[in-house]
Chain A
Amino acid sequence: MLRIEARGLTKEFKSYKSRSGLMGAFRDLFSRNYMNIKAVDAIDLAINEGEMVGYIGENGAGKSTTIKMLTGILKPSSGFLRVNGMDPHRERENFVKTIGVVFGQRSQLWWDIAVQESFTLLKKVYRVSDAHYKRHMEHVIDVLDIEDLLARPVRKLSLGQRMRCELAAALIHNPPLLFLDEPTIGLDVLVKLKIRDFLKEMNKEYGTTVLLTTHDLSDIEALCSRVIMLDEGKVIYDGELNKLKEQMGSKKAVFVDFPYPVSLEKLESVTFGLPVSWSQIHPMQYRGVFRSEDLSVSHLLEAIIPSFEVTDLSIETMSTEEVVRKIYEEGFAHV
């Protein structure tokens, strides 16, 4: 079953340009230069039940706007959208009972009262039965380790403590679909790990579908097998994370360290005939880029070792971070 299905989903905002200077501000009072900005431009999405999908993109790429359309907050300007089989904006009140949302930058707990009170209210709001609440939430509270925080007012919690409570609050009604908009922003490593483990467990135990936006790509690496990449409101990649890395970082490279200075010509003559191109980092260290997949590291070493002593050899792998940076900087088209 498709949890999220979108075709040609578009959101346009009307915006205006302020004229400069005092005269400009005065003229703005009477007439404004309006223009339309497409925050999300005709994207197609199809997300299956039980998937954990990472939704990535630069700031302003349109991630948050998409999430807000998918959660029924914003009305799409055009396009087809079905989430959990419903039109999110039109059937909002019914629809939101089937989703959970965490906005990393906004709290959904009531600021002045104890966490427990917020939970009680949410339990009533989502009409969760006592038995169900007890069974489900005891587990959630236990895994997130927030038992001790429940009696404290939200304003006295640290960010990491609050975020764990936010996550629990979003799951009170045990929704089949969970949206996470930057859930780990500003959190330390331990809390991040805890949250990741928790999400994995929810996914395994209840088959919760998760759509996650984040700038921390290690979150995506740890959780998502699939990524959707957005740039200027358009989807530029949708598929497996591994494939994306392969595509972008297909050229393998090695660093070779020598105990004494070696000249470039000498090294090239030794590896003559092998599909490798050398560049000098400094006289005692060279970087070799493999021009072909067929070349193996052992082959290369066989060629070098008879002529030179090698102190160290490291294989360069591209992190997701670098892959993404490269896509933003160089674009995706000419990969």
Chain B
Amino acid sequence: MFSMYVEMIRIRFLMMLAYRVNYYSGIAVYSINIGAYYFLWNAIYGDKVTMGGLTALQMVTYVSISWMARAFYFNNIDQEMAQEVKEGKVAIELIRPYHYLATKIMQAMGEGIFRFLFFSLPGMIIITFIFPIQYPSGFSIWGWYGISLLFSFFINTQINLITGLLTFFFYNNEGIMRAKRVLVDLFSGLILPISLYPEWAQAILNYLPFQAISYLPGMIFTGGIQGEQIFLSLGQQFLWILLLWIPIGMLWWQAKKNLVIQGG
């Protein structure tokens, strides 16, 4: 059982390595993004000391670490599922003795680990030389951050599973998936820390799973969340992981029942 999923992660590794240009250009894109945000935030801060409870240095750290974390939790499994449904390839997935969704999560995990090792780590090292980034002191913060990052991977992947599963019903939901991508980037606090949103927006976002993807781990890393607050955040993330299984389970159950294989 376990060795099968390890093998799946390995295969995804091999597939990522099969296209080298993709890999190199990925590093470039992430570096450019971080560089752009660095200069943007420096300009916004001007000579203000803090904004939304973060110093300029914390903000730069927050933004860079968020992008690096994104490399890990981000994946396109919903796009893959959509393509499998559209081309009828899902038939092949269903003649294999594994759980379709579990397999998708494992593939996402393979992709995530690959990018973490080959994008995020080298990227972070490069960036440390260019921009002054504040790293947390103490192993415990690194540890909590690691757990939080793993949780954000699951939450983001679960949201992807939901949008991916919708293809089983709509056959073409390119629009929904694109909207989801923008929503996640915006509401997760990747582009803008949640603390900079107006009060009413923060109140709403508190009840949505998005900030658990990027904002909470980012704040743990930069020290914006400390002490007992860390456990509260991790608890919040974990709760979302549990809650999101409910719609996924229901959608999958319906999808299997009404499945149509496109293209014969």
Chain A residues, CB < 8 A from B4: 124-125, 127
Task: For chain A, give the interface size range.
Answer: 20 to 34
Q: Which of B3, B15, B99, B259 contacts A112 (CB 8 A)?
A: B15
B196 within 8 A of A: no
- 20-39 of chain A: CB within 8 A of chain B: none
Shortest Cβ gap from B13 to chain A (Å): 10
Chain B residues, CB < 8 A from A124: 3-4, 7
For the complex, give the distance between the alpha carbons of A108 and B19 in Å. 20
A103 within 8 A of B: yes
Shortest Cβ gap from A57 to chain B (Å): 13
Which of these binds chain A: B90-98, B168-176, B199-207, B220-228? Answer: B90-98
State whether A106 touches B95 (Cβ < 8 A).
no
B264 within 8 A of A: yes
State whether A72 touches B96 (Cβ < 8 A).
no
Q: Residue-by-residue, is A62-79 near B (CB-CB < 8 Å gives 1, otherwise 0)?
A: 001000100111110000
State whether B18 touches A153 (Cβ < 8 A).
yes
B261 within 8 A of A: yes
A94 within 8 A of B: yes
State whether B261 touches A74 (Cβ < 8 A).
yes
With contacts A110-B11, A110-B15, A120-B7 taken as known, whether A103 is within 8 angstroms of B260 at the C-beta atoms is no
Chain A residues, CB < 8 A from B257: 75
State whether A72 touches B14 (Cβ < 8 A).
no
With contacts A93-B99, A113-B11, A125-B98 taken as known, whether A108 is within 8 angstroms of B92 at the C-beta atoms is yes
For the complex, give the distance between the alpha carbons of A117 and B8 in Å. 10
Chain A residue at smallest Cβ distance from B15 = A112
With contacts A105-B264, A106-B88 taken as known, whether A73 is within 8 angstroms of B95 at the C-beta atoms is yes
Chain B residues, CB < 8 A from A229: none
Interface size on B, residues (CB 8 A): 26
Chain B residues, CB < 8 A from A71: 94-95
State whether A113 touches B94 (Cβ < 8 A).
no
Q: Residue-by-residue, is B239-264 near A (CB-CB < 8 Å gives 1, otherwise 0)?
A: 00000000000000000110111011
A152 within 8 A of B: no
For the complex, give the distance between the alpha carbons of A127 and B99 in Å. 15
B89 within 8 A of A: yes
Chain A residues, CB < 8 A from B263: 105
Chain B residue at smallest Cβ distance from A73 = B94
State whether B259 touches A113 (Cβ < 8 A).
no
State whether A64 touches B97 (Cβ < 8 A).
no
Chain A residue at smallest Cβ distance from B92 = A108
State whether B19 touches A112 (Cβ < 8 A).
yes
Interface centre among A74, A99, A126, A127 (most CB of B within 10 A): A74
A2 within 8 A of B: no
A132 within 8 A of B: no
A297 within 8 A of B: no
For the complex, give the distance between the alpha carbons of A105 and B96 in Å. 17
Shortest Cβ gap from A170 to chain B (Å): 9
A315 within 8 A of B: no
Chain B residues, CB < 8 A from A64: 261, 264
Chain A residues, CB < 8 A from B256: 75, 89
Chain A residues, CB < 8 A from B260: 13
State whether A106 touches B89 (Cβ < 8 A).
yes
For the complex, give the distance between the alpha carbons of A121 and B14 in Å. 12
State whether A106 touches B91 (Cβ < 8 A).
yes
A202 within 8 A of B: no
Shortest Cβ gap from B223 to chain A (Å): 42
State whether B92 touches A103 (Cβ < 8 A).
yes
With contacts A103-B92, A106-B92 taken as known, whether A68 is within 8 angstroms of B18 at the C-beta atoms is no
Chain A residues, CB < 8 A from B259: 73-75
Chain A residues, CB < 8 A from B7: 120-121, 124-125
State whether B91 touches A113 (Cβ < 8 A).
no
State whether A96 touches B18 (Cβ < 8 A).
no
Chain A residue at smallest Cβ distance from B263 = A105
Chain A residues, CB < 8 A from B264: 64, 105
A266 within 8 A of B: no
Chain B residue at smallest Cβ distance from A114 = B14
For the complex, give the distance between the alpha carbons of A74 and B90 in Å. 11
Chain A residues, CB < 8 A from B3: 124
Chain A residues, CB < 8 A from B89: 106
Chain B residues, CB < 8 A from A127: 4
- 8 residue pairs, one from A and one from B, having the closest CB atoms: A124-B7, A112-B18, A124-B4, A73-B94, A97-B97, A101-B95, A108-B92, A96-B97
Query: Can you give 22 contacting A-B residue pairs, CB < 8 Å?
Result: A73-B94, A73-B261, A74-B261, A75-B256, A89-B256, A93-B97, A96-B95, A96-B96, A96-B97, A97-B97, A103-B91, A103-B92, A110-B15, A112-B15, A113-B11, A113-B14, A121-B7, A124-B7, A125-B7, A126-B97, A127-B4, A153-B18
Besides the known contacts A71-B94, A106-B89, 5 further A-B residue pairs in the complex with CB atoms under 8 A apart: A75-B259, A112-B19, A120-B7, A125-B7, A125-B98
